[in-house]
Chains A and B, each alone.
Chain A
């Protein structure tokens, strides 16, 4: 049984981080260069961590499977980043951001972590502006803000509809500077395929070079995973096609606990699926809900009509009706489920009936078409490219889609997993969003972890490791891990089957969406838990992976990732089955209030479920970490 010590510092909530920083061990500047740190992933969390640790003097090796760190999927975040600057003078504060995030997460996150996130949010904006991130500004030259779901203040900083891109390019520029200065050794086209554990501590990784196929061993004093979320377990999602769970899954199989995998976020405003060929779902930023109004026809018989032919009186602005105080800006899980209920009632729009309208006609009347274009022009263009429809003329049709995973590797307050020496940042960890993440908080968390948390907390671990004590890459553990990787590759290439990897990914995705999507039931999850192992067997028996191991082989890359997704999908369903309550993104139909809202069970489930691998074919162990709320009352979340 894993030991889960959250290491939350004692003392008043607002003092915990400050005191902790003063109390934890330091590594002296001359010793820092004796420590080698591996960073896997170069999105917001990975790039910011690698750059900052290198500035501090650690020797950093950064591995990315992309051809450039700038390709990481943080780049695609559209809407913005939250920070408690209160530049709008509208009553925002660190405490309010803390409270909104905790409540938005349906009281399933740690108070101390979330408070720290809110505290450092203000530093992130300062840092990014100093790097030259071109945030939107007002005419006076000061920073502009907009509103996001789950908040009643305007605290979201943005750069048009490309905030993630601009923040990532900022972090990438910081990383590039340190690479250029010789402080970071950057390895592109390099995919982590195993974690090496020596004496119970994470001490290295096994890397496959995606162009040459070369397998290499890398040892270090600590390993940081910043490899993103696992939403592609659903196949169709707003994730990039290559986003994968391989690094965290292989770390899990080496003993790191995976926490709350069933907390998956379904984003309400995505472009609906158009056909079987589809490889990807495209998000329409939540920021659109600032000015767009969501509705469905009041009458079922109007569902197939053109939206412009449905008179105002026959439209049901259901979010405004059900949640009058937050309206269209209620949190994502709430908005998604409401949209699903409308479609389940038969009032969904479009041919498939799986869509609701996001209508800008009021905003166009108020701001003019040019005003709307200035705020959302690029999003309207994307919508037009995909659907061939103009959202200036007819309302957008949107439907919920998988967008983010709140679950991830378990970490303590220092962002260290239960495997000492393994740190996990950004979406790859489970720590700050509870059961539902608020909009514009992913960018905040990625950069908080990389710029402002790990640079302090990693020192506490390294200071306990004698300098230059890391094992060499020739030790038995490294050899065994490498053999593990090459054996898997051999097995794929020797598979006698006929079906492409994508065939299995699609089938897994459909299973997951049907049985473990927006609404889950015991019966459905039990069905999934029978079907997924069967799919796994079929995958290994009948997949075909063409080509060889010593060249660029995209089928081989995909095969490894999908093999991991199939296993992770099973764990996700198991976690969803065991959590007999509804909270945030996890909705069990058996546990709802009469009005269809989530019914939490704080008496039995106010805890983190951290799954521990027990070996091939054995049921994993469900460890729990209680969530102790010292400063906030766990209340029923209401946006009405």
Chain B
């Protein structure tokens, strides 16, 4: 946390917010002063308050993405003072409280900026590219009802725990917004590692990593140059080590794809 304000002392801050009516419209920063703000107020509640004020005075409220307000749905997505999700560590925008700011602060609020996340309006961007990557291979193909008993396949606790570390990704896109290349490697690495660490994920392991990386590249995300800003802003603190795992999996899959003999297929007996 950047600063710590003792509870109950009310704050006055200025929000400097990116306003842009639509993807083709010009954008600009607009200042919104806010006085008498409780340090126990969440940052999104401050946006609510500013928006109520705008509505009452005939203005148009600031569009911003939010939903669960407990750091798990991955909807909220503001870059605050230049950092995706703001000054906290391991939190999403919705988990940021005004006690992290000092009286008199100007707080600069922007959308997550990346070529693959086109702007929709004000602070809202379109992150559909993440869904496309998942649809390309972020799954284990198992028909409903076809599963064996859950305990027939023991998974070493260490593997399960590491898989869970990766699976904790909330798909918010902060990793992309923080990266100077707008790379989605941490996001893809998290899913590839989660499934690749589990025995259930082995049959499709190569296919998965190749398809997901190909889709990621096609969506316009940049490459990773190992700066690790992604991990630093990740609300779930997902480790950059998973990117190494992704690179290894991708390389292995590429080599294996080149040499692996494939069945010519052919129909069944009838």
Contact = CB atoms under 8 A, between A and B. Distances in A.
A485 to B, nearest CB: 21
Given A166-B167, A552-B120, A502 B59 contact: no
A555 B55 contact: yes
Interface in B60-113: 60-61, 63, 65-75, 88, 90-91, 95, 97, 99
Given A76-B70, A544-B56, A552-B120, A134 B135 contact: no
B49 A141 contact: no
Interface stretch (B140-148, B244-252, B254-262): B140-148
B156 A126 contact: no
Contacts of B160: 134-137, 141
16 contacts: A67-B127, A123-B147, A127-B145, A128-B150, A129-B153, A131-B200, A132-B140, A132-B194, A134-B160, A162-B72, A240-B68, A274-B40, A277-B38, A279-B45, A500-B56, A555-B55
B128 A142 contact: no
Interface string A381-418: 11001101000000000000000000000000000000
Contacts of B142: 127, 130-131, 174
Contacts of A452: 144-145
Contacts of A132: 140, 163, 194-195, 198, 200-201
Contacts of A125: 150
Interface string A152-173: 0000000110101110010011
Which of B42, B55, B128, B143 counts the most A-chain CB atoms under 10 A from its CB? B55
B216 to A, nearest CB: 14
B55 A141 contact: no
A55 B145 CA distance: 11
A464 B91 CA distance: 52
Given A134-B164, A241-B69, A67 B128 contact: yes
B202 to A, nearest CB: 11
Contacts of B19: none
Contacts of B130: 68
B219 interface: no
B136 A180 contact: yes
Contact of A451 (B22, B131, B144): B144
A177 B131 CA distance: 11
A52 interface: yes
A256 to B, nearest CB: 26
A179 B70 contact: no
B155 interface: yes
A134 B144 contact: no
Interface residues of B, number: 81
Identify the 9 closest CB pairs spanning chains A and B, nearest first: A141-B154, A180-B135, A130-B147, A173-B139, A500-B55, A126-B147, A129-B150, A134-B164, A280-B69
B239 interface: no
Contacts of B44: 279
Contacts of A275: 38, 40-41
Contacts of A211: 120, 126
A242 interface: yes
Given A71-B68, A283-B70, 10 more contacts: A67-B65, A127-B142, A132-B195, A136-B160, A136-B164, A137-B154, A143-B150, A166-B164, A282-B70, A498-B56
A87 B48 CA distance: 47
B241 interface: no
Contacts of B181: none
A176 interface: yes
Interface of B: 7, 21-22, 38, 40-42, 44-45, 48-49, 51-52, 54-56, 58-61, 63, 65-75, 88, 90-91, 95, 97, 99, 120-121, 124, 126-128, 130-131, 134-151, 153-157, 160, 163-164, 167-168, 170-171, 194-195, 198, 200-201
A555 B55 CA distance: 9
Given A66-B75, A134-B164, A176-B135, A143 B151 contact: yes
Contact of B74 (A70, A174, A499, A500): A70
Given A140-B154, A278-B45, A68 B60 contact: no
Contacts, number: 226
Contacts of B21: 551
Contacts of A546: 54-55, 58-61
Which of B51, B59, B97, B164 counts the most A-chain CB atoms under 10 A from its CB? B164
Contact of A242 (B22, B67, B194): B67
Interface string A540-579: 0000101100011011000000000000000000000000
Contact of A134 (B70, B151, B163): B163
A138 B151 CA distance: 11
Contacts of A388: 7, 97, 99
A73 interface: yes
Contacts of B144: 48, 51-52, 55, 127, 174, 451-452, 455
Contacts of B90: 381
A132 B49 CA distance: 42
Which of A179, A385, A503 counts the most B-chain CB atoms under 10 A from its CB? A385
A593 to B, nearest CB: 36
Nearest to A278: B45
B121 A173 contact: no
A502 B167 contact: no
A132 B56 CA distance: 49
A71 B67 contact: yes
A44 B106 CA distance: 41
A541 to B, nearest CB: 16
Nearest to A128: B150
Contacts of A126: 147-150
A217 interface: no
Nearest to B57: A498
Nearest to B44: A279
A377 to B, nearest CB: 11
Contacts of A502: 48, 52
Nearest to A498: B56
A129 B59 CA distance: 50
